[in-house]
Amino acid sequence: MHTVWDRAGYLADKYAKRYEKALSMPEWSPEELEEMGSNMRHVVETGLRDKRETNERIKFAKYRASLYQDISEIWDEMEERGEV
């Protein structure tokens, strides 16, 4: 793994595997959360927060991995637009 893009792609895969349990947490409606006791609601809300944060990490890593991987790609695109 030599580039930032390779590392970002690796991290996205690693996060998905490592946090598979958190990512599999079902969604709960506000009504369902209200019916729960305070301890259970706290556990579920914490799980949902972890799921959101993990999804954001994966999303950012995938985004970063999809960016230009080589400066020559940037130059080629700039030349096509007539910016160079």
- 5-47 pLDDT, tens digit each: 788 888 899 999 999 998 999 999 999 999 999 999 999 999 9
3-class secondary structure for 4-57?
HHHHHHHHHHHHHHHCHHHHCCCCCCHHHHHHCCHHHHHHHHHHHHHHHHHHHH
| Cβ neighbours of residue 72 closer than 8 Å, sequence gap 6 or more | none
Per-residue pLDDT of 48-63, as tens digits, reads 999 999 999 999 888 8
> How many domains is the chain built from?
1
For the range 25-30, what are the long-range contacts, defined as Cβ-Cβ under 8 Å and sequence gap of 24 or more?
25/50, 25/51
Say if pTM beats, i.e. exceeds, 0.75: no
The range of the structural domain enclosing residue 51 comes to: 4-81
At 65, the pLDDT band (50, 70, 90 cuts) reads confident
Phi first, then psi: give them for residue 70, nearest 5 degrees. -150, 140
